[in-house]
Structures are given as C-alpha cells and as structure tokens.
Structure 1
Amino acid sequence: MKKTAFIFPGQGSQEVGMGKAMYDFYPSVKKMFDDADDVLGYSLTTLMFEGPQEELTKTENAQPALLLNSVAINHVLKEEGIKPSMTAGHSLGEYSALVASGSLDPMAAVQLVHTRGKLMEEAYPTGKGSMAAVLGMSQEEIEKVLEGFNDDEPVDLANINCPGQIVISGTKEGVSQASEQLSEAGAKRVLPLNVSGPFHSRLMKPASGDFADHLSKNSISEASVPVYANVTAGPVTEADEIEKLLVKQLYSPVRFQQILEAFVEEDVDAIVEIGNGKVLSGLVRKVKRRMKTFNVQDPETVDQFIQWYKEES
C-alpha cells in the first residue's frame, strides 16, 4: 500500500464552476452537495456552479464551498478503498483534513465552517484589516521588521507557506507601513492580498470565544490517521487537543512549510492536493522539488490518482 499525505486548500482557491464535473459524474457527490444545501438552508451548490464570484468569495460562503468540494472528492476516494496515511489543510483546509481523518462529520463540518466564516467576518470591521504576501525574505528577517509594530497598529505573521513566501496580517495601516519597511529591508516583492479581514492575526481573537462555544457543541472524534495541525505543524489525533488547536488556529500563524517538511521526513510516496486549484502543490515543490504530487479535483484527475495508487509498486 502506498504512503500518501492528503492536503486540502483553504480560502482563495474558490472559483465559480468548481465541483460541477464531480457533481455530474458521481451520484455520491451529488448527494453530498444536496445534503449540504439542506443543512445550510440555502443553495450553496447553485452559488458554486453559477456564482456570482463576488458572492462565492464572501468568507461565509467560500469556506463551506471549499470544504464541501474537498470532502466530496475525498469521499469518492474512500469508496475506492483509498485512505491517506496522514492529512493536513491550509487554514480552512484543516477542517477538510479532519473530515478525511474521521474526526468530523462532513455535514457538521459544512455548518461549522459556515459559522466560522461569519464570525471571522464580524471579528474586525470590514476594510480595516489587511494581509500581504512577502516574497524573498526569511521568517527571521520579517519578524525583525515586525518587532517595531505595537498594539495600536499590530502586524503578525499569518501564513508561513514555503521558503521565500510568508504572509503578514494586521490593521490596514499597519500592513501598509510594514510593506514599505519590508521592501526597504530587502523583500523582492510585497503583494497585498484580496481578503476581507486580518486573518490569522491577534485581531481575530475576538472571534475565538464565540467560535469555541460553537465548536464545543460539535462532536469531534479521535482522528483515525494523524492530522498535522496548522498551529503546531505536528500530528494530532486526540479530540480534546484538536478542539483546542482549532480555536487557536483563528489567531495563530499557519505553519504550512513545517507541515510539508514533516511529510517529507515521513518519506511519503506522494502528497495529494484534494480540492480546487494547484496552489498547495506549488508550495510542495518549493519545499521538495522532486516530491511526487497529485491535484485531484475532477473525474479525470480522480481516475489518474486511483490508477497510480492501485498500481503494484
């Protein structure tokens, strides 16, 4: 049996039309999409297939849409007897990873991330927060610049994605000032991101209390395979620990580079991105150029991966 790590994309990977080919081809996927519409009380499926993009991109819609798409694809693989050896997800994608690891029920997860998206939107006034990708600087160099930012205009590390690509998050003015200082300090580029809030920064802490209350009402089970947590970059299986880390994840940096490095150390045969887009596979190649990767997002790529997985080594 091949040793695989499944990784799941987060917010920003959404696009109108995602999931339609899977919905049309697999009856089990259609059922999951229909069930999600029922539990949410509105047609997420129509929004995913027809848009508009602006509505789909709203955090409270993008999060359940991306999760639903990923877990439906994973369900097809599960029906084929394919189970990962370990999982992880980028921010929101961690919830898809928990579903794939048997820790969360798919429909409970759809509702949970819909609520999470709403709380994240409400945690800080729209338009007052910002995020930016810093290219070509080390974590230590960025942290040195950010030391000069206090609680008046806080700026934090948000996503440590891969060597030379780190995202910062904070107030709009703070991120603007930090971007200038980082450019002067030697960053190749600092690119503002099209997001609605200062995610994975201390400014998200107000959302964490309400979210913890919602999370406690959900049944989180022990994971059947290790989930590598965003907050620690280490494996976790125990339900209580998973719950604590999901709350911390709201205001802590996503340590995705360290997660990928851990997967490389585990000597997996392939790292498999399940869901829309190829963003995470690109990060894998920055960490380990020769690592075998798959993007599984439609019937054709599902079939290609299944064929490889079932080939005799």
Structure 2
Amino acid sequence: MKTAFVFPGQGSQTVGMGKDLAESLLDQANQILGFDLKKLCFEGPEEELKKTEITQPAILTVSVAAFQQLATRNPQPATVAGHSLGEYSALVAAGAIKFGDAVKIVNLRGKFMQEAVPIGQGAMAAIIGGERAKIEEVCAGIEGVWPANFNSPGQIVISGQKEAVEKASAACKDAGAKRAIPLPVSAPFHCPLMQPAADKLKMELDKIEVKDATIPVIANVTAAAVTSAAEIRDLLVKQVTSPVLWEDSVKKMIADGVSSFVEVGPGKVLSGLIKKIDRNVETSNA
C-alpha cells in the first residue's frame, strides 16, 4: 500500500495550533522572522493570524513540526504534495528546501501577494456544484477572472478583479452551478494579477539553496511529479499566478498506486477534498 503525505494551505489556521508539537520549531521561526510567530499561533488574535504574511509561515511551521514527529514513527511516503502554500511544507519534507529558508520565503510570499493588488480591488469565490468545462468557459469569456483552484469535483475557486468575479459568479450560476460563495480573502490568489508577486518571489528564490527532492513532489501547476531542483524553482514562481490543480494531483497520486493519504498539519480540509475525489481511499490526519 502506497502512502502520500499531503500538506494544507491557507484557511487551515486556528488559534492554538502547534501547542505540544511545534514549540521548538516556532522558536526557530521567531528568530528567523524577527517577530513572535509562536505567540500569534498559540494566543492569536485571530485577525492577526489571518494576515497572509503571518498565516503562511505559521501553517508551514506547524505542518513541518507535524511531519518531523510523523517521520519518527512512519516509513517514508511514496510521494508528497501540498495545496498552494502547502507545497513549501511538502518540499521541506522532501529535502528540497531547508526549513529556515522556507519559513522566510513564505513570509515574503505572503507580503508580495498582498502588495500585488490593492485591498478591495481583487476577490475570490468558490463555485459549488458547477461543471469544470462550463466554469472555464465562463472565465474565458469575462475579462479579469480566472479559475484559481480545482479543489474537487463540484468545488472550483475563481479569482480576479472584484467586479469580474461577481459577474462570473452570476454567470456560473446561470450555467448550472448550485452556489457561488465569496471567500473572505485579502487578495486574488493564483491568477495573473499576482504577476508582480511572482517576479519578486523569483528574486528571493534565487537567493536560497534548492536541492533535488529525495521523493517525488506532485506540483500544483502541472499535477505531475517533480524532483529536479531547477524545475522546483521554476514551478514555485509559476504557482503564484497559476491555478492549483488539486483534484488532478490527487487523481495522479491514486493512478500511481497511492491508496492512503495522511494530511500533515492543522485542519482536515484536504482530507475532505480527497474523499470527494475518491471515497475509496484512506485518509488520516497527523
């Protein structure tokens, strides 16, 4: 039986996460970042923890701590993957990026993503119960909106300029989607409006060491396995402006023989999505 470790992205944060698990790693993160991430994880306030430049290093640190504990009692997984930000946790687990570099990079990634589009100008919405081809068609016909996350059958997130997202949300419902839920996000992630963030991120990634991964990482951008350091670097830049192919990634892992998924980090978001993609696989949380 092949097992995959999967790592959550933004939205899985909760005040109190990492207690009795991530103390020493959060202390390391505090020193690297120069602010008290540990206090924000353990005590909040929630509004502060929700800020993307705080959320990203917080989830990464707690996820890597959970992985380190899991690795002491579990055999190495056949493959790893992460949802958006979670891809960085997966790359730490696969030995491609050092934890200290990853925590610094995702803090900057959060800042760059927030700065790319002024607050209030961008938006994201979850389209529930719609057909993938129809949602893609709607987005192609409206300027300024794009599919951003293919999460599971019947759950696709769109992203872009606020008015365009509202227009596309209505058009998706007209095309048969059950609901369109505006998401409480501070920026339109995973769309071409994030290009300024991608450009800045590339410069920062060029400063750190990226090694070949020791186990295959299923990349968000391609839903294909990657181990080469050069390709990992390239895909992390593209990931900022590209849709997260999560449903495709899970299907790829299953096609490669994975029958058990362990969600490593806070929350159970990915386990829920994986069960919607294939109810026959095993899911658990660490």
Bin the TM-score by the shorter chain. over 0.9
The reply to whether residue 201 of structure 1 matches residue 191 of structure 2 is: yes
In the TM superposition, what are the counterparts of 1:118-133 in structure 2 within 5 Å? 118-133=111-126
Instruction: Give 3-state SS (helix, strand or coil) of 1:272's partner.
Output: strand
The reply to whether residue 42 of structure 1 matches residue 32 of structure 2 is: no
What residue in structure 2 maps to residue 20 of structure 1? Answer: 19
The reply to whether residue 264 of structure 1 matches residue 263 of structure 2 is: no
Q: Deviations over 1:1-46 (max 9, x none)?
A: x521010000111110111132xxxxxx432111111111111000
The reply to whether residue 290 of structure 1 matches residue 280 of structure 2 is: yes
The reply to whether residue 192 of structure 1 matches residue 182 of structure 2 is: yes
What residue in structure 2 maps to residue 25 of structure 1? Answer: none
C-alpha separation between the residues in 1 aligned to 2:178 and 2:42? 37
Q: Please say if residues 23 and 38 of structure 2, whose CA atoms lie closer than 8 Å, have aligned partners that are also in contact.
A: no
C-alpha separation between the residues in 2 aligned to 1:181 and 1:31? 49
Instruction: Give 3-state SS (helix, strand or coil) of 1:170's partner.
Output: strand
What residue in structure 2 maps to residue 162 of structure 1? Answer: 152
C-alpha separation between the residues in 2 aligned to 1:289 and 1:81? 23
What residue in structure 2 maps to residue 85 of structure 1? Answer: 78
In the TM superposition, what are the counterparts of 1:227-238 in structure 2 within 5 Å? 227-238=217-228
Q: Please say if residues 77 and 83 of structure 1, whose CA atoms lie closer than 8 Å, have aligned partners that are also in contact.
A: no
Q: CA deviation at 1:276?
A: 0.8
What residue in structure 2 maps to residue 10 of structure 1? Answer: 9
Q: Deviations over 1:245-286 (max 9, x none)?
A: 000000000000011001111222411101111110011111
What residue in structure 1 maps to residue 98 of structure 2? Answer: 105
Q: Deviations over 1:142-195 (max 9, x none)?
A: 111122212xxx000000011111000001111011111111121100000010
TM-score, with length taken from structure 2: 0.98
The reply to whether residue 213 of structure 1 matches residue 203 of structure 2 is: yes
C-alpha separation between the residues in 1 aligned to 2:111 and 2:76? 32
- Structure 1's unaligned 5+ residue stretches are 23-28, 297-313
In the TM superposition, what are the counterparts of 1:171-190 in structure 2 within 5 Å? 171-190=161-180
C-alpha separation between the residues in 2 aligned to 1:183 and 1:3? 39
Q: Deviations over 1:269-308 (max 9, x none)?
A: 4111011111100111111102111111xxxxxxxxxxxx
Q: CA deviation at 1:79?
A: 2.8
Instruction: Give 3-state SS (helix, strand or coil) of 1:232's partner.
Output: coil
Q: Please say if residues 216 and 227 of structure 2, whose CA atoms lie closer than 8 Å, have aligned partners that are also in contact.
A: yes
What residue in structure 2 maps to residue 51 of structure 1? Answer: 44
Q: CA deviation at 1:94?
A: 0.2
What residue in structure 2 maps to residue 310 of structure 1? Answer: none
Q: Please say if residues 88 and 97 of structure 1, whose CA atoms lie closer than 8 Å, have aligned partners that are also in contact.
A: yes
Q: CA deviation at 1:81?
A: 5.4
Which piece of structure 1 moves more, 262-271 or 208-217?
Answer: 262-271
Instruction: Give 3-state SS (helix, strand or coil) of 1:21's partner.
Output: coil
- Structure 2's unaligned 5+ residue stretches are none
- Larger gyration radius, structure 1 or structure 2: 1
How many residues get paired?
Answer: 286
Task: Say what the alpha-carbon RMSD is for the aligned residues.
Answer: 1.0
Tell me which amino acid in the other structure corresponds to 1:55. Answer: E
Q: Deviations over 1:193-249 (max 9, x none)?
A: 010001001100111111100000011010000000000000000000000000000
Instruction: Give 3-state SS (helix, strand or coil) of 1:175's partner.
Output: helix
What residue in structure 1 maps to residue 236 of structure 2? Answer: 246
Instruction: Give 3-state SS (helix, strand or coil) of 2:258's partner.
Output: coil
